[in-house]
Amino acid sequence: MNEKSHKLIEYSVLIFGVVIFALFFLFYKGGFSGRLLITASAGVFYTLWGVIHHWLEKRLTLEIALEYILISFFTFLLVLISLSV
């Protein structure tokens, strides 16, 4: 499998995962905690995707991993605040 196909698969996994989490979030009929759990899971999924993607590209560093964690955490906090109303 060439590099292009690898990237296509990796990005498809990301898009598919994010869309699935978004749909779960939008159609979830439960309360605040359930939605927060979905957001936290999406954050974990995104961080793992980032780490695995960069590891496969052989350019994973601690800084890059931290970057994905920070973006996920920042997004989680935005959702947390929005759900508080």
Binding flag, residue 8, another protein (CB under 8 A):
no
Told to check if 74 binds another protein by CB under 8 A, we report: yes
How distant, in Å, are the alpha carbons of 22, 29, 31, 59, 80 from that of 85? 19, 16, 12, 41, 9
Residues 10-49 that bind another protein (CB under 8 A): 14-15, 18-19, 22, 25-26, 29-32, 35, 39, 42, 46, 49
CB of 39 to another protein, least distance (A): 7
Name which of 5 and 70 has its Cβ closer to another protein. Answer: 70
Over the range 41-53, which residues count as b (16 or more CB within 10 Å of their CB) and which as e? ebbebbbebbeeb
Which positions touch another protein (CB under 8 A)?
14-15, 18-19, 22, 25-26, 29-32, 35, 39, 42, 46, 49-50, 53-54, 59, 61, 63-64, 66-68, 70-75, 77-85
